[in-house]
Structure 1
């Protein structure tokens, strides 16, 4: 998918440049990862505009104490997306391709114990995990670069910084700030016993600024090599979409650096009023 992501990113940035600027969120950050995950799943181009609204509605449920209307929209989006995937699975069973859904069907039909419900769940997980973090990391990252012009200048002058820049931007302004879990067995952490049944919030954003783990954690350092951030979680819960997110972030950043060397902010960005998923509602730029 790397060549596809790079070519797609280049096309999106070329359009942004031709238009003299615009909203980096809607022009690059959103369409790139959605198109990549759609290509991976084998979603036809005509259906791809459906994916982002479904994902946004479902991910809104991650926020703390979501209102009833948010929950209703999430359920509706989940049902619609599941129904769509079942239809797509049926099509791919008759006319298989080289996409992931066709591969999952082969595993199902050859007795690998992957039910259709599990195929639907896997694809839904990939949609959310494969692009939601990338959308927010892209705009958060460029907002951070605009606020740290010396670091942006260093990256523009030394493209070998790109791999560490991707990791540092994921750490510095973490897209997923926290995740909730329920304790199954009593556990002691830092001298505090957390009882069974307690609800806990794992603060990824806070951990990524822990001075015990990072040197000068509140400083953006694109050359940071010792960077054990947990923006993609860890262990058995490590994000399945992490490799894809890294590919997409590197592709969009490289395209913007190469094709829009004068990229700069065009006014104040609009921050989403969220607590869990941190991102921007708009990032106006000029080229």
Structure 2
């Protein structure tokens, strides 16, 4: 990523946070009873946005955003700007949003909060979910609770596959170069016997789509399959040596190894955007 201008790197990182990290709120809210209960009976839109420093077609400050749309307690995640959210956490810049999600909390990174006083329950439910997400994705070792470990695996699979697809759509050179030379193929991340955790990317001639759940039409072109949730987290969190795990068959590469190397490089790039400041800051 060193040949990419810093300004563009900042844009890519914001894209990963808004379009790959924040969407993991959906499975988190659905699988954590306290968070499901917090949204019960609520309606409204909670938007997370960042000003870009540009003007839109109407001359208003342009922003990028992702939002939680809540309908009678059921939460959906949508990308793009909502014209009139009930609650909005608006960051002054992409850099401020990126810093906040990386854990740099100060006056420069704190968002402007709109609509909070008139939608307290909605705001509190969304904030609790964001804090839970930050804690879960920030784990450096596998959680002892097996349900929490499975949820973390699911979220990381979703984050990585969505991040690859989103960065390809944004024409990131690493991802677009990979995608443009692909015929119709499916790349899957899986845990053997736990198909509900799986996620995959379908790619064809430069176009990509990330999908949650197992690929069921046929065998995927390539699958990075783990024998268990602890094995998956060992690799994804970097606590297990990938070569040792492969020899011991904690990882099974179902397909040609060279395709696994390409997938691994992209997963590492997405992980860097989600965890590290860009530009060596």
Establish whether TM, by shorter chain, passes 0.5: no
Structure with the largest fraction of strand: 2
Q: Larger C-alpha radius of gyration, 1 or 2?
A: 1
For normalisation by structure 1, the TM-score amounts to: 0.29
The one of the two structures with greater contact order (alpha-carbon pairs below 8 A, sep at least 6) is 1
